[in-house]
Amino acid sequence: MMLFFLLLPPLLMFVASFSRSPWARKLLPVSSFAVLIPVALLFRLPKPYELWGRYLVADDLNTYILLLSSIVGIGVTLALLTLDRHVKISTKALYRFYRFFGLFWVGLSLSILANHMGIYWIGLEMATLSTVYMIKTNRSAAAHKEAWNYMIVGAIAISLILFGIILIYAASKPILGEQAMLFDALLIKAREIPSPFLFEMGFAIAALGMFVKMGFFPMNLWLAHIERASFYPVAALFSGILESGVMAGFFRFSRIAERVNYDHLFFFVFAYTLLTIFIVSFLIFRAKDFMRLFSLSGIEHMALIALFWVSGGSFAALLHFGAHAFLKPALFLSTGVLESTGRYHFAGALRGYAGLRGKLFWFLVGLFMLAIVSIPPSPMFFSELYGFAAMIDDAKSSHHLLAMLGAIALLLALLSVIFYRFVAIYQSMKYEGEAEPKKVYSSEVLALTIFAVGLVALLLPSSTAFLKGIG
């Protein structure tokens, strides 16, 4: 029953997309808000809570991720109310967007709640295929090309994940039978897996698929170009829900891999994420439009989350994860207004707002821009502090303290490049260029306010205590 209520808002969205009544569209944000009721109930229930046998099980980690993605879903539904006022889109295409958004949301909810590797993959594949059409809603040639690109590279990434899952299943089946598909069973028996090499090979291939899906090296620009070519809510869904779903899987797989061979896991993730951040920081420095800038910054954040997680800084990773899930969709949804005067105009993007709505809009976007580069009291500031502390603690227990300190110094240098670029862009947005009038709608400000409240809520003592308890 609980599962039905969790999936009801996206299913209603899917059904409503077949109706041509304007009321159906206006009621969708209300029905999306309703998802918070079962999610809140889920927080109060004893964990682990079985939603569908052992296939879908809610624990603290995925309930938290589900809450984040639900809030993003609500924000995007609100922003979709005024999408047709910022971009050229036919009513038919807009309703089809809702239809695939509904399927996407169902797929990701299943992935996030999955305790079964197969269901995790099926949900992810469902979300990937739905996204293809959402990209294509934009009738431009670039969007059409990127939809095919996404279809092909996304399919390769998803196939790599399935390939990894099959190898992990093959490695564990001799001791677990069909239960080798269950994350919790694998976690308990991880040290007894008869062929750890096969498991690690499977994990590495699955992780590679997940990294490609999140735009890590070498696919950084692939994701940025796709997000640039699509309508901005697609990018918000990518960063707020899809990446959360993929990362939820990474958290689960890496917890098992940690027990099989921690050193191998750490070296693999450490080298991969460092390489990704190295490349992304320079790409951010050269970014000339908001969509690519935010997209590349999202890749940097996901790489940091993965790094903190495998370094033992689960609190830092989850705090960073929450902040990213609110900040990035908020900024992507703002792009529709920020780019009112053109795609490649940073200067004056935060000027020209009149009235209470306008002022609240530029104030919130300004705050988000600064919060994303970890200016205190942004949750990202604290998560990075805790994350680097976890990395040093981890190195102290090994023989690699000096190498770790060197890596942290390199990371700080790369992060300072990103910091410099974002602050320069913020100054250009606020203090340069002409103050041309821009139109902001109430639903957009409401969406941004929800994200801002979520961001503040992350810093409440009860929230931090909850995140520390997940570990």
**Considering only residues 1, 21, 178, 461, which one is a binding residue for another protein as defined by CB under 8 A?**
178
**Considering only residues 171, 204, 418, 455, which one is a binding residue for another protein as defined by CB under 8 A?**
171
Q: What is the largest CA-CA distance in the chain?
A: 68
* Min separation Cβ 116 and another protein, Å: 8
CA 304 to CA 306: how far, in whole Å? 5
**Nearer to another protein (CB atom), residue 173 or residue 357:** 173
**Nearer to another protein (CB atom), residue 148 or residue 420:** 148
Interface of this chain with another protein, residues 45 to 64, rule: CB under 8 A: 55
Interface of this chain with another protein, residues 286 to 345, rule: CB under 8 A: none
**Considering only residues 188, 195, 262, 274, which one is a binding residue for another protein as defined by CB under 8 A?**
195
**Considering only residues 14, 64, 97, 169, which one is a binding residue for another protein as defined by CB under 8 A?**
169
Interface of this chain with another protein, residues 200 to 239, rule: CB under 8 A: 201
**Nearer to another protein (CB atom), residue 201 or residue 392:** 201
**Nearer to another protein (CB atom), residue 133 or residue 441:** 133
**Nearer to another protein (CB atom), residue 230 or residue 273:** 230
**Nearer to another protein (CB atom), residue 234 or residue 330:** 234
Binding to another protein by residue 431, rule CB under 8 A?
Answer: no
Q: Which part of the chain contacts another protein (CB under 8 A), choosing from 169-177, 252-260, 292-300, 376-384?
A: 169-177
Q: How many CB atoms lie within 10 A of CB 342?
A: 9
**Nearer to another protein (CB atom), residue 68 or residue 160:** 160
Interface of this chain with another protein, residues 109 to 168, rule: CB under 8 A: 116, 118-119, 121-122, 125-126, 129-130, 132-133, 136, 144, 147-148, 151-152, 155-156, 159, 162-163, 166-167
* Min separation Cβ 168 and another protein, Å: 10
* Min separation Cβ 119 and another protein, Å: 7
* Min separation Cβ 379 and another protein, Å: 36
* Min separation Cβ 69 and another protein, Å: 20
Size of the site for another protein (CB under 8 A): 37
**Considering only residues 19, 85, 91, 194, which one is a binding residue for another protein as defined by CB under 8 A?**
194
Residues interacting with another protein, by CB under 8 A? 55, 116, 118-119, 121-122, 125-126, 129-130, 132-133, 136, 144, 147-148, 151-152, 155-156, 159, 162-163, 166-167, 169-171, 173-174, 178, 181, 194-195, 197-198, 201
